Each structure stands twice: as structure tokens, then as C-alpha cells.
Amino acid sequence: MGAMTGRMDSATLDQGEPGGRVEHDEREERGGHGSPAFRFSQMESLLRGHTLRHLTVDGIEAVFVRDPVLVRDILVGESRNYGKGELFRKARNLSRVGMLSEDESMHRHYRRLANPYVRSARIDEYVPAMRDIVSDTISSWRAGEPVDVQAEMCRITCAIVTGTLIVGLPQATIKALSERLSRLAWEMIRKPLYGKAAARAARPGASARLSRARREFRELLSECIAGLLDSPTSTAGYLSALLADSDSEGNRVLTPEQVCEEAVMMLTAATVTTASVMSWALHVLSTDDSAEEQLLKDLVHRRTAGAGLEHGASGYTLRFLAEILRLYPPVWISCRKALVDVRLGSHRLPAGTNLVFSSYLLHRDPGRYPDPHRFDPDRWLSLRPSSSDASYIPFGVGSKGCIGEPFAWEQLEVILDVVTQKWKLRPDPGHRVRTAPETTLHPRRLLMTPEPR
């Protein structure tokens, strides 16, 4: 029985039928707006008519869930019955404490601890710094000289999260942290998520650049944590909040090493996803003149009116980003494991069953989204994300949904606004942008040439 490979270019799924082995070559195709759409056509065909279907991924038996109502049951309605799945773990640098703890009460505790730094009310304070950071980064671009857009988005998002969430450190140290985090994020984005490529990458010494980037970032972060421990007056910021966390007897809950692990998770999660989404957004703008024109007009209006980007508003900027997130959800595939015997729809599944679902497929369901592969921000004039199913979950949903969603929306608008004010980005002539379904769903290579507005 074959395994899904990291690039999805030769996946073998077991249909649970005699001789039911299906090989498929996943090729890129172009959507209606000229940008690439990663083609799951054969997987869609395999799953058509099935709410659940058995398959094997990386040698592990699993059940693929296609029904958005059942996915919501897993993530929200019956979430207490599901924990982290066994799939895709080897591709990630996960801590076992804090927000990623298997213990549900600990997970909730550390969500509450992080919440003050990423909630909507706090984010307004970050906007001036965000704008300065983006402006400073893109000022190094030169007209007519191609830039690697995704690498630049890594630089920007990493500078934003370190410059806003970490305080009490010298600016030179913050800058050094940002640079090292950017290298780590860039390597993590491109890490294979599963299959033979992920198995090779997981071997000792196989991912030398990723290992080096992680080590260098952790070393500097550990030094910063040690410095904060030696400065009891430094009580502001996310790192200080982790260090100050204590039990009822006043004992520190996390060791400095665990604080470092938790911070690495939080900071990389806040950067790799946003960098990938922002790369797609700039690519689409470069290929769709109508979208660019409408977006620029709306951004000018928002800037002059002082309007913030609120989820649920109807401005073109929000519709544009909502459609980018629909077509290119950064966390494009996920897995949960049944902790007890469960009933999912009309199906009974034993404890230990791994359940796989894909936001990419959910977001392109023709039953929910007519002409699902077409880029159409105006579909959101009449369409709203459903609260009864998981047909639109770019940030996840429920108790394990992305805690940084408000932070991410604000970053996306700020980056779009500042970049498009100064530069018009043109695609690399003759280069076909390909979709890479790895740790995130990102453009494999995105060289673009900036021209002054």
C-alpha cells in the first residue's frame, strides 16, 4: 500500500477495495484568474460520494473525512473525543508542553496566557510598528531587480512578531532574533510534510540547513530568556509572561528550556503561515489587474477613513484576503485521532483511528462554492463562513483554532497596504508559479520584479 509523498506528485491511496490501488500524478493547473491551483482532481474523484474513506498515509491506517459537517463535529462538537493524530508529526518541531501539550487543561491555560498579546484590542497598538517594519524592509528593494517574494515575506512577518511580541530586549537583539527566525521560518515552510521526502528529511543530518537554523535561533532565544530571568523588573511581553507563570505555591511552571520551546512554536506558527498567504496575495495581484485596481481603491479608503480590518466586514480588502485564504489555506491538511470509540455520522470508529481532513478540499467544494477553483472575491458579498460546518477553516475552528487569527488579519492588511503603496510587483516572465504542499501550502518559487508606483 503506497504512501502520500511530500510533493503529492505520486500519491497512492488504498480505497479499501480488492485491487483498489490508485496511482495519481498531481499536476498544477491554472485557475480562472491565471494563478495556479494545486490539482487534487484525482483525490477528489477518489473521495466523491464518500463522507469517509479509508486510506493509508506513511504506512498508517487513516480515515479521510470529506464532509464539512463531520469535520466540524471532530473539531468542535465532539472535540473532547479527539486528540492529535499520528500523521505529519515528524515534519514539525513541536514542543510537548504549553499550548501543544496533550493535556487539555494545560493547552487552555497557555492559550489564555498568550491571548493578551494577540487579541484584537491589543493589535491596534502594534499597527504603527508593523507599518514601519514593512516600510523598512521593502525600502531595500530596487526597481527592476527581482526579489524572492516569499523570502521577503518571511523577513517581514518575522520582524513583526519579534518587534511586537517580544519586549524588554535591546533593539539590536530583537533584530538579530528576527533575522534568525526568518531563516528558520524559510526552512520550515519548505519542509516536506509526509511521505518518502519527509522520511528522508527526518533522518539525522538530512535537514542540515533546517537544523542549523533552528539551533541558531534557539541559542539566541535562550540567551534572551536567561537575560530576562536576570532582570526581574522586565515583566512585559510574551516571553516574560511565560517566565512568570507559576503554580499556586509560587513555583515556576515552565523551565527556561520549555519557555524556549513554547516561544519557538508560537513565533514560527505566527510567521510561516502568514508569509505563505501573503506571497499568494501578491502573486494574484500581479496577474489580475481588476483585483489590483479594486484593492488599491479600497486600501486608500480604509487608510483615509481609519478603518480596521474586521472579520465580517464587506470591504474589498477583506473579500480579497478571504478568497486568497479559501484557495490557498496555509494549513492545508490535518489529522486527529479518536481517543475513545466514536460515532461520526453513521459510522462507528474505534479508539485510535486517525482521521484526516483537508481544508484545501473543503474550501473547493462545488456544493458550497460554485466554480470553486475560480478566484472571485465578490462571492463573499453574499457568502458568509458557515457556523454549522467546516467549509471555511483557514485558521481552524474550535478550541484548537489559531489563537493568532486577529493578529494575522491585521498583518495581512498592513503588508498589503504598505507594499502596494510603494511598489507594483510584476511576475517573472516565462516562469510558472507552482504550488508546494509542504509544511504550508506555498509558492515553490516566486520571483517578482518591483516597479515604483
Q: How far is CA 236 from the centre of its chain?
A: 27
pLDDT (0 to 100) of residue 9: 31
Say whether pLDDT at 157 is over 60.
yes
pLDDT (0 to 100) of residue 5: 32
State which amino acid sits at residue 354.
N
Say whether pLDDT at 333 is over 70.
yes
**pLDDT tens by residue, 104-122:** 788 888 888 888 898 888 8
Say whether pLDDT at 159 is over 90.
yes
- In 3D space, the residue among 375, 110, 398, 394 whose CA is nearest the CA of residue 266 turns out to be 110
| Residues contributing to the annotated binding site | 402
- Parallel, antiparallel, or unpaired for β 60-65 and 354-357? parallel
Domain boundaries, the chain: 11-452
Q: How far is CA 8 from the centre of its chain?
A: 18
Beta carbons of 163 and 135 less than 8 angstroms apart: no
* 11-452 CATH: 1.10.630.10
**pLDDT tens by residue, 271-314:** 999 999 999 999 999 999 999 999 999 999 888 876 655 544 56
> What gap in Å lies between CA 166 and CA 294, rounded to an integer?
36
**pLDDT tens by residue, 166-207:** 988 899 999 999 999 999 999 989 887 765 666 666 666 667
State which amino acid sits at residue 433.
V
Instruction: Tabulate helix, strand, coil % of the chain (nearest 5).
Output: 50, 15, 35
Say whether pLDDT at 146 is over 50.
yes
For residue 40, what pLDDT band results from cuts at 50, 70 and 90? low
**pLDDT tens by residue, 243-273:** 888 888 888 888 899 899 889 988 998 999 9
| Residues contributing to the annotated binding site for heme | 402
258 SS3 class: helix
Q: Across residues 405-429, what is the average pLDDT?
A: 95
pLDDT (0 to 100) of residue 36: 34
> What gap in Å lies between CA 160 and CA 166, rounded to an integer?
10
Beta carbons of 195 and 58 less than 8 angstroms apart: yes
Please state the pTM of the whole predicted model.
Answer: 0.87
pLDDT (0 to 100) of residue 38: 37
pLDDT (0 to 100) of residue 107: 81
Beta carbons of 337 and 355 less than 8 angstroms apart: yes
Say whether pLDDT at 418 is over 60.
yes
For residue 1, what pLDDT band results from cuts at 50, 70 and 90? very low
All cell numbers assigned to 388:
454549522
Q: How many CA atoms lie within 13 A of 330 on its CB side?
A: 24
Higher-confidence position of 313 and 387: 387
